[in-house]
Chains A and B, each alone.
Chain A
């Protein structure tokens, strides 16, 4: 198979400036991740520890197989909102007793692990990932339930969480709840709807109403152990399947449950050699342009991501703004679509449509590397049917049934975001590099469009155009759009599954490919009607 030859000049000025701006963005990312890890802050962490309890991440570390990887999902959910970054939930994919599982853990140091609107969106996203990729899930529960002041945003949609649990169970995906502390009121249904429940003697408390509520409702005097203690549930109500002696014991039981799931992946195992790329992934720092307007060759990225830098390019001479071809990551074959010079023309759209069909024909997952400003506009392209060609590409992407993985490595603007499998097109996983931007169009263009429209309106009303006000408006709009296109802003809103260090791209994708192979990989044999 052909091997990519890099022509990257790591001594060049552009490499140096790209690298330094990428490192700056990574520093910001690392700072935010550190905040997420800090949970509710040292005061609450100390208080939690003083009760001889482990932190959410410590529980996860012990649950996972030693030395196995863990891909944390949406770690920056709720960034920049009134809620703590991370949304009081730690979630990700890890290996338990040799099985890839969706693991989530309430962070009890953040407002008692209570659920806010972002927590809800993050756990919904996790539920989707578990269902789409056929993953057993393990919930490490310790939550005060809904964040009551926000109940209006939570109560009605929040019911979905419980429905998701039982629907996954019905789909043959075991759900396991390890209850480390309180799981009360609505929260009681998280273990309640799970297939396996482990409670810890003297620690787990699961009830619909605590002593005060019961007193208010019926006048009955009761203690919390008799209402929902682990021992009661293990011996009397039967809600607990296993009674653990302590946190460590609960985790051990959880691992044993997974070990006995008789789990096997339905997808085929890796079929290609998983050798490292020939080029140093460290150099990925200097490839993506610091200035989004400067295009860069996605083959330089692929040369540092795919197995052995092997890339078998398809239609290399046609529609050259989009690079398509075959490669493998960690031994799993993939088809790659990567924007080259930003714009998608008719040829690129047609090439993409054909390539997506080819991948579906042979059941190979697709990787989309986004760096696009959108489909070409202008008389020539409209007359050549850019809408029809773009529609074909979107038709193919929408109806394709092989797993899609998307990474935004630069820009993702306009309908290009749709054609290149943006969030709305349900890629199994979507990640962004720290330098990436995504919006309906670039901030300058958007402000410019608004300005032109305003100028036309003024003209039609024969009013004088206020140039000063226009300049201020453009500035304000530009900075607003710039802020809203930032990956942190988008990640906070669950529009991606995380922002990744470019140097981790190969391992993130390799792990995702392994995860998607829990399902059988089968391409579609049918599409919507292609507009010709």
Chain B
């Protein structure tokens, strides 16, 4: 029996494991890096051990420190969660050697499946359908080897697979170290990049190449085996909606899957599990081609991120099951004969900007409110929403780890109901301080193709993520939000005035026109005019998009008159105008066209976050005054996000063309390329490889070429 469990992970999965362990009466020990010292999983554990440092390699990937922490605290088992060391056979061995139960399959199984290459070969031998593979000769193009030529023989083999091909890391998962290559010329660079990313993320830079099947569905089967020879599957999960090979919407059961296909998948999964003698919870991933063929991809020898959808429809606690198996117990009867009730959908809420190539967003969570029961599968048979979050309001999203903020899972009798419920829960969420993919997820869940079950991994290629990820708040809604922000801002000015607080806002004995404030919003710069009469009632309110952003391609210039007609113009007077009913620093209520609408406003450091039924807006106050120093030198290229410089591709004095690679920054385990916006001469390089950079920090300065 396990009495004390060390949870060798962070974020939501650490909290998830702690929750089930506590429910079973098992004490929990958390570990934390210096970036996570105030993270929720640390507070929820019974004890916690510090892992000095910030980056994963110094902390959560240090198997020696983790084993020592377990021994030091008297833990008798280690749960690895997912990611980090969850699929590290060496770590599993170290645990076992130190007398600790490793919650996961035996080290040999992890090892066998850890190499996707080996796994494919073994499964092909067992009769499971697989895709063709090109292995790279050892030593492969490793990290730091630079872009070398691809040997001719290798290139021929790859060409035989047919373009495009997919370069994949043999270790790990989660889309890291993966590259789609369309043509031979790009192969070398893709191999180098994938290898470096894989090496950084998994400590193993081995990559291989397989055909890239266009627009397949990604379907996986949950398997579980015990030490008594029992192996069962807990149905499939559909994970086809992906961005950059990373799943973002998952569901159980798969949409509109015919029973023949389902049987082929589950039978193949059981074959896989039996072939390798699988023990514990695992996942067999398959590719389902548009023509109905299935192909084995890999086995994930751990708990999956998306496990809650399986829990929702089967009513089985998979973490509890893992712990039971680790204790040597046989699978309980309900697991031997599982049933499916209703439909569950999970979305992964990321701190990222889908409109800017999924750029991760680090920052302080000024507000983090998600509706739903925490980590708990909602009452079986009743529609409900579950939230698995690793963050809490007031904590930081650091650039060191995966930017997933939370998983939100809905469970309802039908798929349509589950989608509607989840979309609404997301619409009601309040997340301030980082960019998120929330609005993108809502648009996917409400998309007719999604609702029809017409989904595959090409969904976010067919549908522009920049459009799906644009704020739900329309231009008109943003103008209303700007009005609310202006009113809330003035309310807080008045509430915090050190003198003359009882005076009406902006009072003048000789009136001098309305007050004005400008915001930078998604759609552009917005100027808001407002005024109050001597009794403090709003008597003027108007918002105009003064400088539309060119990036909103759908923008049609709206004249102030047309906005007025739409109810955004003059407030308090005239038909269709907005009447201000309530106005405080954090809430504004307006009646617009006879409808009372409530706007929640949070003001943080010159930014107003506005949430309403019309959507959410982030409105940066355009300050009246700007320090002359705050304007950077022309031609400076600043870091787009905090991270580490992993490559500097230019030297001072070098001539560059527009689009040339300058610097590669690694943040949140993704590589971000900074390219030259135009041609010119590099006049300064301010960073070198290994530098930590802050957002806005100048990386490279490019002088425009003479005569250009």
On A, residues with C-beta under 8 Å from B are: 33, 36-37, 57, 61-62, 65-72, 75, 95, 98-100, 245, 248-249, 251-252, 255, 265, 274, 281-282, 330-331, 498, 500-501, 503-504, 507-508, 510-511, 514
Contacts and interface: CB of A to CB of B under 8 A. Distances in A.
Contacts of A503: 534
Contact of B509 (A68, A98, A100, A500): A500
A67 B499 contact: no
Contacts of A37: 510, 512
Contacts of A331: 502
A477 to B, nearest CB: 34
Contacts of A265: 499
B363 interface: no
Nearest to B503: A69
B497 A68 contact: yes
Contact of A69 (B506, B535, B627): B506
Given A245-B628, A498-B509, A68 B535 contact: no
Given A62-B624, A66-B515, A251-B625, A95 B499 contact: yes
A281 B534 contact: yes
Nearest to B533: A503
A513 to B, nearest CB: 10
A95 B512 contact: no
A57 B504 CA distance: 19
Given A61-B512, A500-B509, A511 B500 contact: yes
Given A274-B502, A507-B504, A507-B507, A68 B493 contact: yes
A265 B498 CA distance: 11
Contact of B510 (A33, A67, A274, A330): A33
17 contacts: A61-B512, A67-B493, A67-B497, A68-B497, A68-B500, A69-B504, A70-B512, A72-B509, A75-B510, A98-B498, A248-B625, A274-B502, A281-B534, A281-B535, A501-B534, A503-B534, A507-B504
Nearest to A72: B510
Given A57-B512, A500-B509, A66 B517 contact: yes
B338 to A, nearest CB: 62
B490 interface: yes
- Top 10 closest pairs, chain A to chain B, by CB: A252-B625, A69-B507, A69-B503, A98-B498, A67-B493, A274-B502, A330-B502, A72-B510, A67-B490, A67-B505
Contact of A501 (B503, B509, B535): B509
Interface string B486-499: 00011001100111
A62 B501 CA distance: 19
Contacts of B509: 70-72, 75, 498, 500-501, 504, 508
A6 to B, nearest CB: 17
Given A65-B493, A69-B500, 10 more contacts: A33-B511, A70-B509, A72-B510, A245-B628, A248-B625, A252-B627, A274-B502, A281-B534, A508-B509, A510-B500
Interface in B506-537: 506-512, 515, 517, 534-535
Given A33-B510, A36-B510, A501-B509, A66 B502 contact: no
A515 B289 CA distance: 79
A255 B511 CA distance: 22
Interface string B400-417: 000000000000000000
B372 to A, nearest CB: 39
B500 A514 contact: yes
Nearest to A71: B509
Contacts of A274: 501-502
Nearest to B493: A67
A75 B508 CA distance: 12
Contacts of B510: 33, 36-37, 72, 75
A37 B508 CA distance: 13
B40 to A, nearest CB: 38
A34 to B, nearest CB: 9
Contacts of A330: 500, 502-503
Contacts of A99: 499
Contacts of B534: 281, 501, 503-504, 507
A504 B497 CA distance: 20
B500 A100 contact: yes
Contacts of A100: 499-500
B490 A511 contact: no
A87 B627 CA distance: 35
A96 B76 CA distance: 65
Nearest to A514: B500
A431 to B, nearest CB: 9
Given A95-B500, A251-B625, A514-B499, A69 B490 contact: no
Nearest to B491: A67
Nearest to A510: B502
Interface in B582-640: 624-625, 627-628
Interface hub of A61, A331, A498 (most chain B Cβ within 10 A): A61
Nearest to B512: A57
Nearest to B508: A70
A98 B502 CA distance: 14
A504 B624 CA distance: 29
Nearest to B515: A67
Contacts of A249: 625, 628
B220 to A, nearest CB: 56
A235 B339 CA distance: 85
Contacts of B490: 66-67
Contacts of B512: 37, 57, 61, 70
A510 B503 contact: yes
Contacts of A71: 509
B359 to A, nearest CB: 33
Nearest to A97: B498
B510 to A, nearest CB: 4
Contacts of A282: 535
Contacts of B501: 274
A249 B624 CA distance: 10
A178 to B, nearest CB: 13
Interface hub of A70, A75, A265 (most chain B Cβ within 10 A): A70
Contacts of A252: 624-625, 627
Contacts of B507: 69-70, 507
A245 B631 CA distance: 13
Contacts of A245: 628
Nearest to B623: A252
Interface in B626-683: 627-628
Nearest to A57: B512
A100 B501 CA distance: 12
A107 B594 CA distance: 45
A67 B506 contact: yes
Nearest to A274: B502
Contacts of A510: 500, 502-503
A330 B500 CA distance: 8
B142 to A, nearest CB: 53
B499 A98 contact: yes
Interface hub of A68, A99, A331 (most chain B Cβ within 10 A): A68
A32 to B, nearest CB: 10
Contacts of B506: 67-69
A95 B497 contact: yes
A488 B387 CA distance: 70
